[in-house]
C-alpha cells in the first residue's frame, strides 16, 4: 500500500530540474513608511498636484515677481499715474474713461511718448508699478503664513502634547488657560494690538503668536490622549524610556499627519486675517505693500480704474485656493480614518 501511495505522489508532484546554475532568491520588501504612503496617496489625486504646483508657483513669484517688470514697487512717478496695463501683443495700454460727454478712449503711453515702457498690471495713483507691488504684497502674505505655521508648530504642538501627556491637575490648569484665552475673539485681540503697538509685519506676527496656537494645541492634546495608553507606548515605558522619549519619539511620529494637515488649514486663515486688517486700515502702515492694502486701494478706484483691483484679487484668490487644495489633500492622505 505504501508503494501505491508513493507512486501516486510521484505522479502528482514532480521536482523541477534546472538546466543552469542560476538561483532564484525570494526577496521580501518592507512596506512604505506612513509619510511615504501618505505622499503617494496625495500625489495620486490631480487636484492635489494642481494645488501644490500652484502654491509653489506663487511662492516662487513672491520671490522673483517684484523684479521681473524692471520697476521698483516703491518708486513713485506722478507723471505716470493711473496708466492702464500694457503688454506687448496683448494689451495696448488704452483705457475707456467716463466723462461728462460720454466715454473717451485714452492711451497715456502715447500721450507721454513712452514707446518702450510696459506696465503689465498698470500703475496706481502715485505712478507705482502694480505688477511688482502685487507680488511684493504676495511676499508679505507668504511670510505671515509661514510665521503662523511656525507658531502653530512650536507653541501649539508642544503645549498641547505636554498638556495631554501629563494629564491630571497640570492638564486641567493648562486647559483652563486655553479656555480663558480662547473665549476672547482673536480678531478683538489682534485689533487692539494693532492699535496699541506700532503697525507692521512684526506686530501681525506677534498677534498671531498670541491667538493662533490654541486650536492647534487642542488638536495635539486630543491626539496624545488617544495614543499615550496604547500598547507600543506602554512597551517603550516598560523598557525604561523617559517621558521626553515617549512623547517626541513614540507619540509625535504617529500624529504628524494630523498636525501637518492642521498647519496647512491654519495658513489661509492667517492670510485672510492680514488681508482683512490691511483692508480696514489696521494692518501695515501707509507706504508698505500688502495684498490687503492693494485691494483696499483698488476698491476705492474700481469704478474709474477697475484694473487696479483685479490683479491683487486674483492673486489672493489663487493663493487661498492653492492652500485649501493642499490642506484638503493632506487631510485625505494622512488621516488614517479616511484611508480605505
pLDDT at 4: 56
Q: What DSSP element (H or E) covers 95?
A: strand 94-99
Cα distances from 122 to residues 58, 110, 159, in angstroms, run: 20, 14, 47
Q: Are 330 and 256 within 8 A, CB to CB?
A: no
User: Domain 34-72+129-334: which topology?
Assistant: MetI-like fold (1.10.3720)
For the beta carbon of residue 301, count every other beta carbon within 10 angstroms: 15
* Residue 126, all three cell numbers: 502715485
For the beta carbon of residue 222, count every other beta carbon within 10 angstroms: 14
pTM: 0.78
Q: What DSSP designation does 284 have? A: S
pLDDT at 130: 93
Q: What does residue 20 show for φ and ψ, rounded to 5 degrees?
A: -125, 180
pLDDT at 17: 53
Q: What does residue 166 show for φ and ψ, rounded to 5 degrees?
A: -70, -40
Radius of gyration in angstroms for the set of CA atoms belonging to the chain, rounded to a whole number: 30
Find the length of the chain: 340
Q: How far apart are CA 50 and CA 269, in angstroms?
A: 21
User: Who's near 87: CB < 8 A, 6+ residues apart?
Assistant: 118, 120
pLDDT at 18: 53
3-state DSSP helix/strand/coil percent for the chain, to nearest 5? 65, 5, 30
Q: What is the mean pLDDT of each run of 10 residues along the chain (340 residues)?
A: 53 53 48 73 90 93 90 88 88 78 80 87 90 91 83 86 90 90 80 79 80 85 89 87 86 81 80 80 73 86 86 91 87 64
User: Who's near 143: CB < 8 A, 6+ residues apart?
Assistant: 201
Q: Is 113 left (phi over 0), alpha (psi -120 to 50) or beta?
A: left
Amino acid at each position: 500500500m505504501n508503494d501505491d501511495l508513493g507512486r501516486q505522489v510521484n505522479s502528482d508532484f514532480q521536482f523541477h530540474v534546472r538546466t543552469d546554475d542560476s538561483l532564484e532568491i525570494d526577496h521580501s520588501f518592507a512596506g512604505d513608511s506612513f509619510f511615504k504612503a501618505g505622499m503617494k496617496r496625495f500625489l495620486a489625486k490631480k487636484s492635489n498636484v494642481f494645488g501644490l504646483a500652484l502654491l509653489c508657483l506663487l511662492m516662487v513669484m513672491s520671490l522673483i515677481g517684484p523684479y521681473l517688470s524692471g520697476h521698483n514697487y516703491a518708486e513713485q512717478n506722478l507723471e505716470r499715474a493711473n496708466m492702464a496695463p500694457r503688454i506687448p501683443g496683448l494689451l495696448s495700454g488704452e483705457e475707456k474713461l467716463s466723462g461728462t460727454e460720454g466715454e473717451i478712449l485714452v492711451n497715456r503711453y502715447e500721450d507721454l511718448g513712452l514707446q518702450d515702457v510696459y506696465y503689465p498690471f498698470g500703475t496706481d495713483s502715485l505712478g507705482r508699478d502694480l505688477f511688482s507691488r502685487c507680488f511684493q504684497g504676495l511676499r508679505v502674505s507668504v511670510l505671515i503664513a509661514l510665521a503662523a505655521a511656525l507658531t502653530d508648530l512650536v507653541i501649539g504642538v508642544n503645549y498641547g502634547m505636554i498638556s495631554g501627556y501629563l494629564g491630571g491637575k497640570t492638564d486641567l490648569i493648562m486647559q483652563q488657560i486655553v479656555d480663558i484665552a480662547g473665549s476672547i475673539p482673536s480678531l478683538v485681540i489682534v485689533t487692539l494690538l494693532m492699535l496699541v503697538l506700532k503697525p507692521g509685519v512684526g506686530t501681525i506676527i506677534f498677534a498671531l503668536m498670541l491667538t493662533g496656537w490654541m486650536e492647534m494645541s487642542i488638536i495635539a492634546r486630543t491626539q496624545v490622549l488617544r495614543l499615550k495608553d496604547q500598547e507600543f507606548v506602554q512597551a517603550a515605558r516598560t523598557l525604561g524610556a523617559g517621558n521626553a522619549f515617549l512623547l517626541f519619539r513614540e507619540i509625535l511620529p504617529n500624529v504628524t499627519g494630523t498636525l501637518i494637515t492642521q498647519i496647512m488649514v491654519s495658513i489661509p486663515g492667517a492670510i485672510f486675517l492680514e488681508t482683512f486688517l490691511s483692508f480696514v486700515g489696521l494692518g501695515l502702515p501707509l507706504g508698505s505693500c500688502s495684498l490687503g492694502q492693494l485691494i483696499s486701494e483698488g476698491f476705492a478706484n474700481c469704478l474709474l480704474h477697475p484694473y487696479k483691483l483685479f490683479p491683487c484679487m486674483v492673486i489672493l484668490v489663487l493663493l487661498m485656493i492653492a492652500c485649501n487644495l493642499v490642506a484638503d489633500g493632506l487631510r485625505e492622505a494622512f488621516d488614517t480614518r479616511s484611508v480605505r
